[in-house]
Amino acid sequence: MLRTERLSKRINSFSLREITLDVARGDYYVLLGRSGAGKTQLLELICGLTTPDSGRIFLEGEEITRKRVQERGIGLVFQDLALFPHYSVKDNIMYPLKIMNLSLKERVDRVQRAAREMNITNLLLRKPNSLSGGEKQRVALARTLVTEPKVLLLDEPMASVDASLKDDIRRMLRRLNRNGQTIIHVTHDFGEAISLASRVGVMHNGRIIQEGTPLEVFNHPVNRFVARYAGIKNFFRAAFVTSYNSCSGLTEKRTRFKLPKGKYPSSGLLIIGSSEVLLSRQGAAGIQINNIHGVIDDVVPSPTGFEITVNAGDFFYADITHREMEENSFVTGEKVIVSFRPEALRVVGDGEEKKEY
Amino acid sequence: MMKGHTLFSWVFTILASLVLLFIIAPLAGMFLDSSFSEVRTTAADPVVRRSVWYTLVIAFSATLIFAVGAVPLAWIMARRKFPLKKVVQGIIDLPVVLPHTAAGIALLGFISRDGALGGAAQKAGILLVNNGAGIALAMAFVSLPFLINAARDGFAAVPERTEKAALTLGASQSRIFFTVSLPQAWRSVVSGFIMMFARGMSEFGAVVIIAYHPMIAPVLIYDRFNTYGITAARPASIIFILVALVFFVFFRVMATERRTIFRREDDAAD
């Protein structure tokens, strides 16, 4: 439905470079990246607020690269929402409808419908300055949705919303997408991407460095940056040795990882999720290999329990539950054994690993 | 800590009071030195009345007419990037730093019969020198920076994102200007309008070069002073100051009232 071909744009010292995207009708595509990665610039290119130096944009097969922003049929909700402060909520939503030369009845009907959908019928006479972040977000969405955009672009839609209201907005966005709205959503939060996206594109320094379903990106990060972004903290650069009956990886700090039998590159990244790392004082039951001795460096509370950092030459991060903590009472400075199953290790070879630009 | 703070407050209050006194004292002295009957007699003088009326009408007309071009120029200065923008800003500010008599001489060359504008106007049957139109041009010349700069600051303070949002919602550039930019910059534009009007109304140096007649109030005061001395000039000055104050306060209150109405609506919305 929406396709960009090798889209490039230079803005001062920053460049968006050769962005190729393919978003199908009904997709919920999340562009994930740190601030300054170029996500907002890409949205502005897609909706026509800026024009690319090179590359092309297609919407429903038609090239729209040089088409005026007003005629593209693409809606954009800005991060700061950009509501008109001098208009009431009703007039904000009515604004694009006045331009569309609709009859007064049609305009009023559309405003009422959008207000009902966004659950803001009680706010119509208020001014934006008197609304909460969540309410403003709903008004901004309503204002854009009344134009019935072919593609809805959302720039960090959760940024101005209280944590307690994020679930509401997420539910609303999912519902919109279920009703057929194609959405491109920009965020820096991997959790947000996991909970909403049908596809994810990870942006870094003006490029999309990995694309796929959230699960693909999480399970097979193409490099250290994506792994870190996906919340993975245990990744180690290693050289791999494959012999007749064993395979192993040896890190620069001389930590040896036993791997399941298979073919491995000569060097690359070893990755393991924090929840796969087990801690014990005598070695985890049932795990004969990959028992590494270390000392607890830090114990930090996390939403699900605790995150424990172990210094074993290399640093390991283990997520443990409150119950496990109650049973074991791990403390900083204590000697422990870090254990994990060989099958929990993932390997990204140097050849496969995408360069971190 | 408290003692230091009090000393600081005292010093600043005294310094501020001295400056305020410097502004108030001559004006208060002028009022005290004139009798009510003198002021009343002068106020009844048709020449004085006509002169005050001219001043108000010409200054207001000049502000209104030049706002048509000054407001777009202010928007361009706030929103557009272009080569030599700083030079253009310097040109806008030039009338503020020029001696106003020099500004009058420069303008006279431009609007006299031999000048570019004056020659063209004469062909159309309009004489700009010694005419209300010439006075309006002189007033506008020296007071335009007040409107342009205030409006420019107002437009610059409008969040650019709201203008971009309007674009994505299908609005044309002109619709965005009138429905998004101008309403948000309105207070600054009105404030600049008032300042330009007030500055134009009080202009003497440039006006006296362009047109001694018809006599606007500042020229009349000067004329009375030159011809009859300070006692004759004082009541005319008082009348003009009072009239100027009434209009200045009226416009200010109008602008504030508008702001209060906005705030009341917001409060009610809470």
> Is residue A301 included in any domain, yes or no?
yes
Grade residue B262 by pLDDT with cuts at 50, 70 and 90: very low
Residues A285, A297 share a domain: yes
Q: Which CATH architecture has domain B53-213?
A: Orthogonal Bundle (1.10)
**Does one domain contain both A224 and A291?**
no
Decide if the complex's ipTM is over 0.90: no
Higher confidence at residue B189 or residue A215?
Answer: B189
Are A202 and A112 within one domain? yes
Q: Are B168 and A100 within 8 A, CB to CB?
A: no
What residue segments make up the domains of chain B, in order of their start? 53-213
Which residue of chain B comes nearest to A84, CA vs CA? B162
For residues A209 and A236, membership in a common domain is answered with: no
The residue of B158, B161, B164, B169 whose CB has the most chain A CBs within 10 angstroms, and thus the best one to mutate to test that interface, is B169
Structural domain contains residue A354 = no
φ, ψ dihedrals at A220, nearest 5°: -130, 65
Do the Cβ atoms of B266 and A78 come within 8 Å?
Answer: no
In a domain, A357, yes or no: no
Residues A173 and A92 in one domain: yes
Q: Name the stretches of chain A with pLDDT < 50.
A: 355-357
For chain A, what is the domain count?
Answer: 2
Range name among A182-196, A328-342, B147-161, B243-257 with the lowest pLDDT average: B243-257
- Count of A–B CB contacts within 8 Å? 66
* pLDDT of the residue at B265: 44
- Residue B166 burial (CB < 10 Å; 0-12/13-18/19+)? buried
Read off the CATH number of the domain in which A215 is found. Answer: 3.40.50.300
Cβ <8 Å between B164 and A130:
no
For residues B119 and B266, which has the higher predicted lDDT (pLDDT)? B119
The structure tokens listed for A226 are 């994506």
Examine the domain organization and report whether A161 and A72 are in the same domain: yes
Task: Tell me the nearest-neighbour CA distance from B156 into chain A, angstroms.
Answer: 15
Quote the pLDDT of residue A356.
45
* Chain A residues lying within 8 Å of B169, measured CB to CB: 75, 95-96, 99, 143-144, 147
Taking the C-alpha atoms of residue A334 and residue A312, their distance in angstroms, rounded to an integer, is 12
Using a CB–CB cutoff of 8 Å, tell me whether A85 touches chain B: yes
Q: Which of B158, B168, B178 to mutate to test the interface with A (most CBs of A within 10 A)?
A: B168
The answer to whether residue A356 is domain-embedded is: no
Q: Please give, rounded to a whole number of angstroms, the shortest distance from the CA of A121 to a CA of chain B.
A: 14
Same domain for A149 and A175, yes or no, is: yes
A248 and A193 in a common domain: no
A131 and A25 in a single domain? The answer is yes
Q: Residue B193's pLDDT is what?
A: 92
Look up the domain containing A306 and give its range. 231-349
User: Which tens digits make up the pLDDT trace of B217-230?
Assistant: 999 999 999 999 98
Output the domain CATH number for residue A243: 2.40.50.100
pLDDT of residue B254: 75
What is the model's pLDDT at position A286? 72
Contact A96 B169 (CB under 8 A): yes
At CB < 8 Å, which residues of chain B contact A? Answer: 159, 161-162, 164-172, 175, 179-180, 183-184, 262, 265-266, 269-270
* Phi/psi at A114 (5° precision): -65, -40
Give the pLDDT confidence of B14-68 residue by residue, as tens digits: 999 999 999 999 888 888 888 888 889 888 999 999 999 999 999 999 999 999 9
Asked if A46 has any chain B CB less than 8 Å from its own CB, the reply is no
Same domain, A221 and A113: yes
Q: Does A70 contact B184 at a Cβ distance shorter than 8 Å?
A: no
Verify whether the Cβ–Cβ distance B170 to A82 is below 8 Å: no
Partners of A90 on chain B (C-beta within 8 Å) are none
Task: Please state, in angstroms and rounded to a whole number, the distance separating the CA atoms of residues A209 and A18.
Answer: 11
Nearest to B270 among A96, A99, A130 (CB): A130
Answer whether residue B175 shows pLDDT above 90: yes
Residue A279 lies in a domain: yes
Q: Are residues A199 and A52 in the same domain?
A: yes
The CA–CA distances, whole Å, from A219 to B107, B129, B234 equal: 76, 84, 89
Residue A82 in domain? yes
Q: Tell me if A84 and B162 make a contact (CB, 8 A cut-off).
A: yes
Does one domain contain both A277 and A146? no
Alpha-carbon distance A172 to A168, whole Å? 6
Reported as a single tens digit per residue, the pLDDT across A285-298 is 777 788 899 999 99
Beta bridge mates, A314: A312
The predicted model scores a pTM of 0.78
Provide, as residue numbers in chain A, all residues whose Cβ is less than 8 Å from the Cβ of B265.
127
Residues B161, A78: C-beta atoms closer than 8 Å = yes
Q: Which of A282-286, B92-96, B258-262 has the lowest mean pLDDT?
A: B258-262
CA distance A186 to A158: 10
pLDDT at B268: 42
